Amino acid sequence: QVQLVESGGGLVQPGGSLRLSCVASGSISSIDVMGWYRQAPGKQREWVALIYRGGNTKNSDSVKGRFTISRDNAKNTVYLQMNSLKFEDTAIYYCQAYDGGYQSWGQGTQVTVSS
C-alpha cells in the first residue's frame, strides 16, 4: 500500500482558487482509483473527485464545473484544482488510493474559504 501526503491547503476568499497535491510513496499508475474526499466540521466525509486507472474522472455534483482532478504518473502525484471556491467548500481534504480492495489515506490538508 502506498503512503499519501497532501499539501496545498490554506485560507482563500470566496471565488478564489487553490490547487491541492497528493504525493504517493510509490507508483500510482496501476492503482485502480485515486480520489479526493473532504470532511467539514460536524459532517461525514464525502467524496469529491475520482480518477480511474484508465484516466476517466468523476466529480460530485457539489463541485462539478469548479474542481478538476488530474494526475502525473511520473511524479506519483494527484492534483485537485479548485476554482470558484465557496464558503461550503471549507473542510479537511483527504487523498485516497483504492486498489484491489485495499485503501490508503493521507493525513489531510485544511481548506478554509472565508472573507
Assigned C-alpha cell, 82: 479548485
* Residues paired with 108 in a beta bridge: none
Higher pLDDT, 10 or 101: 10
4 SS3 class: strand
Query: Residue range 10-14: average pLDDT?
Result: 98
Integer Cα distance of 27 and 73 in angstroms: 7
Q: List C-alpha distances in Å: 72 to 1, 16, 51, 79.
A: 18, 24, 11, 8
pLDDT-derived band of residue 53, with 50, 70 and 90 as boundaries? very high
Query: Residue range 34-55: average pLDDT?
Result: 96
* Percent with pLDDT over 90 in the chain: 97
pLDDT tops 90 at residue 1: no
Q: Around Cβ 30, how many Cβ atoms within 10 Å? A: 10
Query: Residue range 94-105: average pLDDT?
Result: 94
